[in-house]
Structure 1
Amino acid sequence: MATSRRPGAGNSKKKGPSVGTGGHGRRRLEGKGPTPKAEDRPYHKAYKMKKAAERRNAARPKGAAERGPVRGHNRRGPGKTEDLVTGRNAVLESLRAGVPAKTLYVATRIEADDRIREILKLCAEGQVPVLEATKPELDRLTEDAVHQGVALQVPPYEYDDAEDLIGQVMATWQKDKSQRAPLIVALDGITDPRNLGAIIRSVSAFAGDAVVLPERRSTGVTATAWKTSAGAAARVPVAKATNLNRAVEKAKVAGFFVVGLDGGGDVELPQLDLATEPLIVVVGSEGKGLSRLITENCDQIVSIPIDSAMESLNASMAVGITLYEVARRRAR
């Protein structure tokens, strides 16, 4: 007798992939390729920002500042080649001095004062691209520096060769000795870029000719130095010496006198009779002071008379005071 079977019982077939098939059933699992960039996904905020920027730029008059989101710039990332000058005064002074700027970043809806208006005017005259950015973007771009809504991207500083520059300065003066004698400041182990920027500014203020840095164990002309110099870094040449001591020796052969600044000097600044001669002023770091070899090559070690309660002066302050005294004696 045949056994009755419920319709569909015992021979039902499951649809779709079964356990262990790896999806090779009716619904095959297929890869979708690499994930698109955020700015290429139509539903993403970055895509909408990019399209809005493209519409703004397409509609702007010819020669007007380009506007768009700032992204993808990392000051400390691999391959960093540019730096940023931040702050309204620093940016304005840099543009006035003719710094070879690459890009100006301006905060969205920035409150424009006279400085901002002049910054934008100088950028337009110099054909420097202007990009608009939100405050969070500027904060990230400047690594939370005090930017006041503006940041100027500048290329890496191009240093002169110290020995060549020293020779050129002396040769120029020897052709016309009726002009003031050459004045150069050399830094022996200064690692703070703010000190470098302040020293460059003092050299510019007191008619100095150049600043010389050693290639090793020294700061360079960074964005911080640019900002502290208030644009003077564009007017005063900065040179690097592979060996600072050798550069000093060659300068002496060329006709320079070399004085080192040190708290225990044998000559006090008001008695610096070499002030009117071709002069190289060497300043060391606050911690270690002048190196032994540099000290041995100095014609005089000069100290600045200060209250005995004070241990020492800041390097940039010591240079400023010294250059003022040199300028005063030369004017006399």
Structure 2
Amino acid sequence: MSVRIACSICERSKSFNYRVTCRFLSLSSYRCAKNPSFRRPRSPLSFRPKLDFEQSEDNPPDEFEFESRQSNDFIYGVYPCLLALKSKSRDVHRAFIRRDYYQTDPSRVQNPSKMLRGVRQILDILEEERVPVMLYNRAALSFMAQDKPHQGVVLEVSPRPVITIEEDNMEEVLQLLAKQRHVVILDGIRDPMNLGAILRTFCFLMGSDNSVILTRQTSVLSPACAKASSGAVEMLNFYKSLDTPALIDKLRSQNRVVVGTDEPGPNTTSLEEICHVMRKMSSEAANNSEQKSVVVFGFEGSGVSKDVLEKCDHILAITSSETELENPELSVNSLNVSAAFAIILYRLLQI
């Protein structure tokens, strides 16, 4: 009995010491930020950005290196940060790079990975744009990225701009959307990972420089969303709709079919039937042009809002495989919204 108690106390003390040690390492990393020598490599290579300008008299270091403006975001990951720098979709204030990645020259590495080459491109752009660069260890970057996979790169940037649709800019937005075959409205997608996956699929299938409409219930374009989208957040245009039913009426005037999504039910239509209807409308058009559409995707739990669903011409549902199971209660009866989005958009683009 005494042996068991001793073993239990030992295991608990190990766990406690581990947590304390990790916390101490994180805090120690931040305190090292105030030491200018910590940010300068001992043997700089020719390709690295020069860090001396951030310590000059004209641009002194901040009093608190890790303190950020409340309005700024910390985006992380090689490709989200790289696309943010290339597209110039945000204002980049500071860059935080993992120290050992900064000191590695990809030209001296046999078969360097895509991630390492991406870090090299980021460093080149940072030097060209003269963005202050700070070097920290993995624990500090993990804290800034909220323990998400940062791949050794974190950028402090301004929030991704989202234009609100109002009466003043309504016509301008409609003219921009008229060039887009399929207009996507995301109604209350609150999970940033799902939202990022949807935007990644949309950018992959539709191409960059297209527009996505978000409702006021939809999640903000957070750093987690930017990472899940693999940088697609930086390539698209975003509009926020305050009155989605009225906007749908405006889009319907562009000869669009409005399709909502919901769970299978008596009033829902299959994806194949929707494609057949759109194909028939395209063939009946005067110039045999491609049929345009508006597709609305709703919240993972409650789905599309009731007032928005009433404005849809068709309600689409993806049905599961009709196979007989020994225990139906153990079956999967629904799809993730990002998976359903990929299936529907890909199929509509084949018409």
TM-score of the aligned structures, taking structure 1 as reference length:
0.71
State how far apart, in whole Å, the 1-side matches of 2:150 and 2:33 are. 27
Instruction: Could you list the structure 1 runs, at least 4 aligned residues long, displaced by more than 4 angstroms after superposition.
Output: 45-49, 53-56, 59-63, 66-72, 163-167
State how far apart, in whole Å, the 1-side matches of 2:129 and 2:313 are. 46
**Residue by residue, what CA displacement relative to the aligned partner does 1:271-324 show, whole Å, maximum 9, x if unpaired?**
323374222110111211112111110011112233254311111111111111
Q: Is the 8 A contact 2:81 2:155 kept in 1?
A: yes
**Residue by residue, what CA displacement relative to the aligned partner does 1:70-116 show, whole Å, maximum 9, x if unpaired?**
955357xxx61111121223323433444423322101222742222
Picking from 120, 125, 133, the partner of 1:122 is 125
State how far apart, in whole Å, the 2-side matches of 1:48 and 1:65 are. 14
State how far apart, in whole Å, the 1-side matches of 2:88 and 2:147 are. 26
> Is residue 297 of structure 2 the alignment partner of residue 283 of structure 1?
yes
Q: 1:163 to 1:266 in 2, by over 3 A?
A: farther
> Is residue 271 of structure 2 the alignment partner of residue 269 of structure 1?
yes
Residue 263 of structure 1, CA deviation = 2.5
> 1:50-89 residue pairs with structure 2 within 5 A?
50=35, 52=37, 64-65=50-51, 71-73=64-66, 80-89=70-79
Q: 1:191 to 1:207 in 2, by over 3 A?
A: same
Q: Is the 8 A contact 1:167 1:254 kept in 2?
A: no
Residue 167 of structure 1, CA deviation = 4.2
For the residue of structure 2 that corresponds to 1:106, the secondary structure is strand
**What fraction of aligned residue pairs are identical, expressed as a percent?**
26
Q: Partner residue of 1:21?
A: none
Q: Is the 8 A contact 1:88 1:115 kept in 2?
A: yes
Q: 1:172 to 1:149 in 2, by over 3 A?
A: closer
For the residue of structure 2 that corresponds to 1:305, the secondary structure is coil
Q: Is the 8 A contact 2:97 2:133 kept in 1?
A: yes
Q: Which amino acid aligns with 1:233?
A: V
Q: Which amino acid aligns with 1:271?
A: E
Q: 1:322 to 1:65 in 2, by over 3 A?
A: farther
**Residue by residue, what CA displacement relative to the aligned partner does 1:138-174 show, whole Å, maximum 9, x if unpaired?**
2332222222221122211211233677744643576
Q: Partner residue of 2:260?
A: 260
> 1:1-332 residue pairs with structure 2 within 5 A?
49-50=34-35, 52=37, 64-65=50-51, 71-73=64-66, 80-100=70-90, 101-110=92-101, 112=104, 113-162=116-165, 167-168=171-172, 170-171=174-175, 182-207=181-206, 209-215=210-216, 217-264=217-264, 266-272=268-274, 273-274=277-278, 276-307=290-321, 309-329=331-351
Q: 1:229 to 1:244 in 2, by over 3 A?
A: same
For the residue of structure 2 that corresponds to 1:102, the secondary structure is strand
Q: 1:161 to 1:254 in 2, by over 3 A?
A: farther
Q: Is the 8 A contact 2:49 2:124 kept in 1?
A: no
Cα root mean square deviation, aligned: 3.5
Q: 1:280 to 1:310 in 2, by over 3 A?
A: same
State how far apart, in whole Å, the 1-side matches of 2:39 and 2:121 are. 27
Q: Partner residue of 1:36?
A: none
State how far apart, in whole Å, the 2-side matches of 1:327 and 1:268 are. 16
Q: Which amino acid aligns with 1:213?
A: L
Q: 1:152 to 1:297 in 2, by over 3 A?
A: same
Q: Which amino acid aligns with 2:211?
A: A
**Residue by residue, what CA displacement relative to the aligned partner does 1:118-155 show, whole Å, maximum 9, x if unpaired?**
22122223333321123332233222222222112221
Greater relative contact order (CA < 8 Å, ≥ 6 in sequence): 2
- Unmatched 5+ stretches in structure 2: 1-29, 56-60, 105-115, 280-289, 323-330
Q: Which amino acid aligns with 2:231?
A: G
Q: Is the 8 A contact 2:39 2:136 kept in 1?
A: no
- Unmatched 5+ stretches in structure 1: 1-44, 175-179
Q: Is the 8 A contact 2:33 2:136 kept in 1?
A: no
Q: Which amino acid aligns with 1:105?
A: F
State how far apart, in whole Å, the 2-side matches of 1:242 and 1:315 are. 22
Q: Is the 8 A contact 1:211 1:236 kept in 2?
A: yes
Structure with bigger gyration radius: 1
Moved more, 112-121 or 285-294: 112-121
Q: 1:127 to 1:51 in 2, by over 3 A?
A: closer
Q: Is the 8 A contact 2:192 2:224 kept in 1?
A: yes
Q: Which amino acid aligns with 1:135?
A: R
State how far apart, in whole Å, the 2-side matches of 1:48 and 1:298 are. 55
Q: Which amino acid aligns with 1:191?
A: R
